[in-house]
């Protein structure tokens, strides 16, 4: 009878050496429960050499405990070690990074195949617009610490809704779905809300509905904070001249829904339970070995039932009563979920304040006569600090993509945020680049994985634990060239040659992916078509919504598709890596090859994508080589990449700042005369700050300073209407129609790429660009800004200051009086 676990270790021992473990040293012990006994294997790795011994009880750097059924599934490709770990079936003690390296030995799922063998898909266009739920007003209050966050209404309450994910969330699971305060049976009416810090908010409330000229006799103050989990300091004040007997209740509920399933309303497959014990309310969800629990306690005695807790108190005249409520989020081992998944403890508020102060102190100091710019810069730095969280198996941090829907790693967002913030907070880039070690290693249809491809998304909720959602997901065609661009840009700013040399093998595999697996049709372009359409996005570029890639007349092209900006990224990646090969990898032959490949790509691209009679590049090519002719913001990314000939740059700039694309608040994703244009369409007419920032920087690289200043000014001016916190996107209505930018329904805020946009726009205004061991500063500021100073800009030169004064008239011709 076959025994996959035994065969796996026997094959490993027979192999003796594996080049995938070059420069890796460490020991791993696998304790596998086989019915009534535990079988042990010790694996020693030394610069690629492998040795395996059975029944060893020697200590190892990494110890894995699992059962044979689970390990059989992993070594046959039917299961994932990370999914099993989330279910509690695969525990890891010691060095998690070493285990992540060893995962290279596990096979892909059966049936995976080369993407170039997948046929073209003809699109069925829906008749009419998709049916969507009416957008509700997004008034949610948000506090967070990395990927643990709470969303409440203006009263501090939480109630489940499929539109806005209110509740307490941690690691893609909702740990509180109901949190409702009443005093003497009356709900709260909000008076004022103070957002004290990104991790703390205070609510001033009165019970019931206030009446005109009738003073409330009681008020309530709720102060909520996230310090690893949720803490609420609740105070009830009696304004009467006599004692008040008060009944205070908090209704509590938990649905433990995976954040990806909130809008799906699927039936749950596990069981719920509630326990009242030791003065605490314990609410839980169990599905096989996957367990999540929420434990609520109070510093004051409470009457606790399975639906909440209550307090009957007497408050003396003009006195108050207080309690502190603690909400703990626990994993299957009964420990704080953050400690379970990250090995990290919660922190006190003063520690978080110190961390924030240290973060802000290390960033360059901005002095500007334009108050909106100063406030938005400060808000962006704070948002980036708020979104930081510790990556699994690493001691460093990355920003989550955006609250509430994307509080995890989205590598496209992470890479672009790291690029934007390099002149200000370069530490993001190091961690992002190190994630390249987890690139694709095999063909895996379920995950859309391919050798050399950089993964895109990693979720840690119930769906991933049971392989109902890919973990990680590789369904992005742009992450790989963007990673290569970041590698070069990082060295240009920091001079860290050691990291560039360390990541050379990864970079070569990424470049190979561009020329092989990415080129699904053999035409020399990056194409995309998912091999798991049921679990992934149809469009694998940054405009990932189903209707984002269309012809001018609204038709959708067949798959695979080759969008224009992907080719620009590939060109830029090859040019940049040619420099790295020649300067750091000691391989001038490879550098020449990359430069020839880049030049050939540039020539073909400018032949195949350029629409001469319209003066812009096609959004994409369809599988027959036809031009997808809609006018979009994607053409601005081509300027950033450098693939555009100088004599065409001005024509693109005219389109980008013309009335069809430029709203007055920023560049729209899709031109107003396109059939699918919608000012509140996610990728079909809205304005994205990060999109505009990359375009502004691209314009600066072509010497189009006035156009870059126009875009930077518009986006920063818009920020003041969002409390200086740039959202993920806002509506594309023309500025002449609205006195202020209109919110996009349910845009993420804070949003990492939008926060980073402020920094990249500031770089564009000052013309900051590394040149060898020096920093080039070439200011081009709108005239109304006045004087601007950016002090202590970090780089290979140490720290340097940049100064500028507004001298450019940015009023577009069609808007001048």
Which pLDDT tens digit goes with each residue over 636-683?
Answer: 999 999 999 999 999 999 999 999 999 999 999 999 999 999 999 999
pLDDT attached to residue 776: 96
pLDDT tens track for 513-529: 999 999 999 999 999 99
Please give the order of strands across the beta sheet that includes 90-94.
Answer: 49-54, 37-46, 25-34, 62-67, 90-94
pLDDT attached to residue 139: 54
pLDDT attached to residue 343: 54
Contact 481, 526 (CB under 8 A): yes
Other Cβ atoms closer than 10 A to 210? 12
pLDDT value at 380 more than 90: yes
Distance from C-alpha of 577 to C-alpha of 590, rounded to nearest angstrom: 9
- Please, what's the b/e burial string for 62-87 (b: 16 or more CB within 10 A of its CB; e: otherwise)? bbbebbbebbbbbbbbebbbbbbbbb
pLDDT tens track for 230-257: 999 999 999 999 999 999 999 999 999 9
Confidence class for position 731, pLDDT limits 50, 70, 90: very high
Strands 218-226 vs 271-277: parallel, antiparallel or unpaired: unpaired
Q: Which of 305-314, 400-409, 479-488, 715-724 has the lowest mean pLDDT?
A: 400-409
Region 133-150: what's the mean pLDDT?
68
pLDDT attached to residue 212: 56
The strand pairing partners of 149, in sequence order, are 144, 169
pLDDT attached to residue 246: 96
Burial of residue 212 (number of CB atoms within 10 Å: 0-12, 13-18, 19+)? exposed
Sign, CA dihedral 83-85-88-89, equals: positive
pLDDT attached to residue 76: 87
Domain boundaries, the chain: 4-105, 141-349, 363-815
Contact 503, 512 (CB under 8 A): no
Distance from C-alpha of 456 to C-alpha of 447, rounded to nearest angstrom: 10
pLDDT attached to residue 138: 46
Distance from C-alpha of 627 to C-alpha of 307, rounded to nearest angstrom: 59
Is the link from the previous residue into 560 a cis peptide, with omega within 30 of 0? yes
| CATH homologous superfamily for the domain 141-349 | Glycoside hydrolase, family 65, N-terminal domain (2.70.98.40)
Distance from C-alpha of 377 to C-alpha of 786, rounded to nearest angstrom: 16
Contact 296, 312 (CB under 8 A): no
pLDDT attached to residue 589: 98
DSSP 712-761: HHHHHHHHGGGTT---S-B----TTT-SSPPBPTT--SSBHHHHHHHHHH
The strand pairing partners of 511, in sequence order, are none
Distance from C-alpha of 470 to C-alpha of 91, rounded to nearest angstrom: 20
Residue 543 or residue 467, greater confidence: 543
Query: In terms of DSSP H, where are the helices of 503-622?
Result: 504-515, 564-583, 588-608
Region 486-499: what's the mean pLDDT?
97
pLDDT attached to residue 111: 52
pLDDT tens track for 599-646: 999 999 999 999 999 999 999 999 999 999 999 999 999 999 999 999
What is the chain's Cα-based Rg? 28
Distance from C-alpha of 283 to C-alpha of 179, rounded to nearest angstrom: 13
Alpha carbons within 13 angstroms on the beta-carbon side of residue 159 total 7
Contact 691, 767 (CB under 8 A): no
Distance from C-alpha of 30 to C-alpha of 137, rounded to nearest angstrom: 52
Other Cβ atoms closer than 10 A to 138? 16
Burial of residue 339 (number of CB atoms within 10 Å: 0-12, 13-18, 19+)? middle
Residue 487 or residue 537, greater confidence: 487
Angle at 183 between CA 180 and CA 185, to 5 degrees: 85
State the Cα torsion 311-316-318-310 to the nearest 10°: 0
Confidence class for position 347, pLDDT limits 50, 70, 90: confident
Confidence class for position 709, pLDDT limits 50, 70, 90: very high
Region 435-459: what's the mean pLDDT?
89
Distance from C-alpha of 798 to C-alpha of 364, rounded to nearest angstrom: 12
Distance from C-alpha of 595 to C-alpha of 690, rounded to nearest angstrom: 29
Q: Measure the N-to-C terminal CA separation of the chain; round to a whole number of Å.
A: 86
Q: 3-class DSSP state for residue 662? A: strand
pLDDT attached to residue 57: 77
pLDDT attached to residue 137: 40
115-to-53, 482, 531, 719, 811 alpha-carbon distances in Å? 38, 21, 7, 43, 49
pLDDT value at 285 more than 90: yes
Distance from C-alpha of 79 to C-alpha of 68, rounded to nearest angstrom: 12
Distance from C-alpha of 155 to C-alpha of 189, rounded to nearest angstrom: 7
- Please report, rounded to a whole number, the percentage of residues in the chain having pLDDT higher than 90: 66
637-to-177, 564, 619, 742, 811 alpha-carbon distances in Å? 40, 9, 11, 25, 23
Quick one: which of 63, 72, 66 has its CA closest to 90? Answer: 66
Angle at which helix 564-583 crosses helix 588-608, to 10 degrees, equals 160
Region 561-587: what's the mean pLDDT?
98
Provide CATH code, domain 363-815.
Answer: 1.50.10.10
pLDDT attached to residue 155: 94
- Please report, rounded to a whole number, the percentage of residues in the chain having pLDDT higher than 70: 92
Region 333-357: what's the mean pLDDT?
75
Q: What is the mean pLDDT of the chain?
A: 89
The strand pairing partners of 806, in sequence order, are 781
Distance from C-alpha of 745 to C-alpha of 136, rounded to nearest angstrom: 8
pLDDT tens track for 91-131: 888 877 788 778 878 876 665 554 444 444 444 333 333 32
Quick one: which of 297, 296, 300 has its CA closest to 314? Answer: 300
Q: Which of 168-177, 328-337, 564-573, 673-682 has the lowest mean pLDDT?
A: 328-337
**Composition of the chain by helix, strand, coil, percent to 5:** 30, 30, 40
pLDDT value at 437 more than 90: no
Phi-psi region of 330 (alpha: psi -120 to 50; beta: other; left: phi over 0): beta
Distance from C-alpha of 428 to C-alpha of 396, rounded to nearest angstrom: 8
pLDDT attached to residue 341: 62
Per DSSP, 525 falls in state S
pLDDT tens track for 32-79: 998 888 999 999 998 889 999 987 778 898 999 999 899 998 888 888
Provide CATH code, domain 4-105.
Answer: 3.30.1050.10
pTM of the model: 0.89
CA 364 to chain centre: 24
DSSP 361-389: HHSPEEEES-HHHHHHHHHHHHHHHHHEE
Region 249-277: what's the mean pLDDT?
87
Structure tokens, 450: 């391919």
Distance from C-alpha of 559 to C-alpha of 477, rounded to nearest angstrom: 13
pLDDT tens track for 83-96: 888 888 888 888 77
């Amino acid at each position: 009878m076959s025994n996959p676990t035994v065969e796996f270790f026997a094959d490993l021992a027979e192999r003796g050496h594996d080049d995938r473990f070059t420069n890796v040293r460490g020991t791993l012990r696998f304790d596998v429960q086989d019915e009534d006994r535990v079988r042990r294997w010790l694996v020693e790795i030394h610069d690629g050499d492998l040795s395996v011994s059975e029944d060893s009880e020697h200590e190892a750097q990494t110890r894995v405990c699992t059962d044979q059924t689970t390990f059989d599934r992993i070594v046959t490709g039917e299961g994932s070690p990370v999914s099993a770990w989330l279910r509690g079936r695969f525990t890891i003690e010691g060095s998690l990074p070493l285990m992540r390296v060893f995962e290279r030995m596990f096979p892909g799922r059966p049936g995976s195949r080369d993407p170039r063998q997948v046929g073209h898909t003809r699109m069925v266009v829906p008749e009419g617009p998709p049916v969507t739920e009416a957008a509700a007003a997004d008034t949610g209050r948000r506090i967070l610490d990395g990927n643990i966050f709470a969303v409440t209404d203006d009263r501090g309450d939480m109630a489940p809704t499929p539109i806005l994910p209110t509740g307490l969330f941690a690691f893609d699971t909702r740990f509180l779905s109901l949190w409702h305060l009443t005093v003497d049976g009356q709900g709260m009416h909000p008076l004022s809300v103070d957002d004290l810090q990104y991790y703390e908010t205070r609510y001033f409330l009165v019970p019931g509905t206030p009446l005109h000229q009738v003073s409330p006799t009681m008020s309530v103050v709720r102060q909520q904070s996230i310090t690893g989990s949720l803490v609420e300091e609740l105070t009830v004040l009696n304004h009467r001249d006599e004692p008040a007997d008060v009944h205070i209740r908090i209704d509590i509920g938990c649905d433990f829904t995976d954040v990806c399933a909130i809008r799906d309303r699927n039936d749950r497959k596990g069981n719920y339970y509630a326990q009242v014990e030791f003065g605490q309310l314990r609410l839980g969800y169990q599905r096989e070995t996957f367990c999540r629990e929420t434990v609520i306690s109070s510093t004051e005695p409470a009457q606790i039932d399975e639906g909440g807790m209550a307090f009957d108190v007497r408050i003396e005249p003009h006195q108050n009563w207080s309690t502190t409520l603690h909400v703990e989020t626990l994993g299957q081992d009964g420990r704080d979920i953050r400690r379970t998944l990250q090995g990290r403890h919660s922190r006190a508020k003063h520690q978080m304040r110190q961390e924030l102060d240290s973060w802000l102190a290390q960033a360059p100091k901005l002095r500007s006569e334009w108050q909106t710019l100063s406030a938005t810069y400060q808000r962006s730095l704070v948002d980036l600090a708020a979104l930081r969280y510790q990556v699994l198996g690493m001691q460093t941090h990355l920003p989550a993509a955006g609250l509430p829907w994307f509080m995890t790693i989205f590598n496209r967002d992470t890479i672009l945020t790291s690029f934007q913030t390099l002149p200000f907070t370069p530490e993001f880039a190091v961690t992002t680049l190190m994630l390249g070690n987890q690139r694709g290693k095999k063909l895996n249809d379920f995950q859309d994985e391919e050798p050399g491809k950089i993964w895109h998304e990693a979720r840690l909720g119930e769906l991933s634990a049971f392989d109902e959602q890919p973990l990680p997901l590789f369904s992005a065609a742009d992450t790989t060239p963007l990673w290569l661009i970041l590698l070069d840009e990082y060295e240009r700013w920091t001079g860290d040659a050691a990291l560039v040399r360390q990541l050379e093998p990864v970079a070569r595999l990424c470049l190979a992916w561009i020329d092989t697996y990415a080129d699904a049709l053999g035409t020399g372009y990056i194409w995309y078509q998912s091999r798991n359409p049921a679990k992934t996005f149809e469009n694998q570029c940054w405009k990932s919504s189903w209707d984002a890639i269309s012809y001018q007349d609204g038709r959708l092209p067949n798959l695979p598709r080759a969008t224009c900006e992907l080719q620009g990224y590939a060109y830029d990646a090859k040019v940049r890596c040619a420099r790295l090969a020649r300067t750091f990898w000691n391989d001038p032959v490879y550098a020449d090859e990359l430069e020839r490949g880049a030049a050939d790509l540039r020539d073909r691209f400018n032949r195949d994508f350029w629409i001469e009679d319209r003066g812009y590049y096609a959004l994409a090519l369809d599988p027959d080589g036809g031009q997808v002719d809609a006018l979009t913001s994607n053409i601005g990314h081509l300027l950033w990449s450098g693939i555009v000939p100088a004599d065409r740059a001005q024509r693109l700039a005219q389109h980008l700042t013309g009335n069809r694309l430029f709203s007055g608040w920023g560049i729209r994703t899709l031109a107003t005369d396109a059939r699918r244009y919608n000012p509140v369409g996610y990728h079909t007419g809205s304005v994205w700050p990060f999109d505009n920032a990359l375009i502004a920087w691209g314009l600066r690289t072509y010497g189009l300073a006035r156009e870059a200043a126009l875009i930077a000014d518009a986006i920063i001016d818009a920020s003041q209407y969002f409390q200086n916190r740039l959202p993920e996107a806002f509506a594309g209505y023309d500025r002449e129609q609205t006195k202020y930018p209109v919110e996009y329904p349910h845009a993420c805020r804070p949003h990492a790429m939008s926060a980073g946009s402020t920094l990249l726009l500031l770089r564009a205004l000052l013309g900051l660009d590394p040149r060898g061991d020096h920093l080039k500063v070439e200011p081009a500021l709108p005239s109304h800004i006045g004087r601007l100073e950016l002090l202590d800009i970090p780089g290979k030169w140490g720290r340097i200051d940049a100064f500028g004064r507004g001298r450019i008239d940015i009023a577009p011709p069609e808007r001048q009086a």
